[in-house]
Amino acid sequence: MNMATSICRTLKLFHETTWHNLKHVVVPIRTKKRFFIPPPVNVKSKTQAEQMAKARASGVVIPQEYMERAINISCTAGIFDPYIPPEGDARLSSLSKEGLMQRTKQIQQTAASQLAIRKIKEHDSEFSTKEFAVRAQEIFIEAHMALTQFNKEKLHSLVTERCYPEMVRGNRYKTLHWRFIESLEPPRIVHARCPDMISKGNLYGQVTIRMHSRQTLAIYDRFGRLMLGDEEEPRDVLEYLVMERHLVNPYGCWRLHGKIVPAWAPSKGPVIKTVMLPGPLLKPGEEFESLNYEVPKPKPVQWYK
């Protein structure tokens, strides 16, 4: 007779199952374990081939993992043939002679832009240069208001998939307060292109709009402390927005695709906190002051946001 009174396993512990899994669980009764078998110690000396053979022999099937990456075709991945804003764009007023010359040069847009606009009008009959600029500014304002409230669905409908991560990155644990005060100049279309991706005929329309406006921005970090900007101080901002639409798609809509930051743009200004930049590696006897180290400044290059 069995004298050892091991506790019979009439009770099974559901330690890792959630409420849903408990529906299909079968409670085992009378699984009386007589002796204790420890789990096998992992022997790492087995080679990969031996391990795979053993797994196959025991009947363990590992499903194949396909390394797939979803491609989004509702927007392009960049700005094609970008607009290079002329230097001193907002510095000259329209009334002076140089300003007038600049204006006339800008108004006779290049042939490629005219062609592109004509192509867009083929696909979208309601496209008009004057109305579109105003509509683009409205989309811009709505998109940034959605960003401050972080309304994901609305933001996705107003902004392309390429622009969305650039707007949202790093902002999840920050609070943004943004206000559009007024527009100093009416927005204008300055550039248009119609690239076709992969196959001929798959047209996307990219239109660049120049707008000069007054805005307020204040960014607070996770703890509610001011990180950047000021709530009450308005700043004059000259921006070049790129709007995109998948022309061939009848349900496509014009969405914000990116921003062009010209090479001559003024620097944004310092953040409120002090930041430490990595300096040169010093040898044991050297001192930093005697090195005459100059902090490297970033090169003024046009980049796209």
Between 77 and 106, how does the x/- string for binding to other proteins read (CB under 8 A)? ------------------------------
Comparing CB distances to other proteins, the nearer of 145 and 218 is: 218
- Is residue 13 at the binding interface for other proteins, with CB under 8 A as the rule? yes
Give the residue, chosen from 26, 31, 39, 182, that forms a contact with other proteins under the rule CB under 8 A.
Answer: 39
Report the nearest approach of other proteins to the CB of residue 29 (Å). Answer: 9
CB-nearer residue toward other proteins: 105 or 222: 222
Using rule CB under 8 A, residue 4 touches other proteins? yes
Classify each residue of 45-69 as buried b or exposed e, where b means 16 or more C-beta atoms within 10 Å of its C-beta: eeeeeeeeeeeeeeeeeeeeeeeee
169 binds other proteins (CB under 8 A): no
**The residue to which tokens 């090195």 are assigned:** 291
Q: Which of 119, 135, 154, 177 binds other proteins (CB under 8 A)?
A: 177
Kindly tell me which residue out of 36, 94, 266, 301 binds other proteins, with binding defined by CB under 8 A: 36
**Nearer to other proteins by C-beta: 27 or 295?**
27
Is the CB of residue 82 less than 8 Å from the CB of residue 192?
no
Taking the C-alpha atoms of residue 49 and residue 221, their distance in angstroms, rounded to an integer, is 52
Select the span of 36-44, 161-169, 233-241, 256-264 touching other proteins (CB under 8 A).
Answer: 36-44
Q: Is 220 in the site for other proteins (CB under 8 A)?
A: yes
> Of these, 26, 41, 70, 107, which contacts other proteins (CB under 8 A)?
41
Binding other proteins by CB under 8 A: which of 11, 26, 49, 67?
A: 11
Instruction: Report the alpha-carbon distance of residue 192 to residue 186 in Å, rounded.
Output: 18
Binding of other proteins at residue 49 (CB under 8 A)? no
Long-range contacts of 222-230 (CB under 8 A, 24+ apart): 222/173, 222/174, 224/175, 226/272, 227/174, 227/271, 227/272, 227/273, 228/271, 228/272
**Residue 245 to residue 242: CA distance in whole angstroms:** 10
Comparing CB distances to other proteins, the nearer of 1 and 95 is 1
Residues that bind other proteins (CB under 8 A): 1-7, 10-14, 16, 18-19, 22-23, 25, 27, 34-36, 38-39, 41, 173-175, 177, 218, 220-227, 273-274, 276
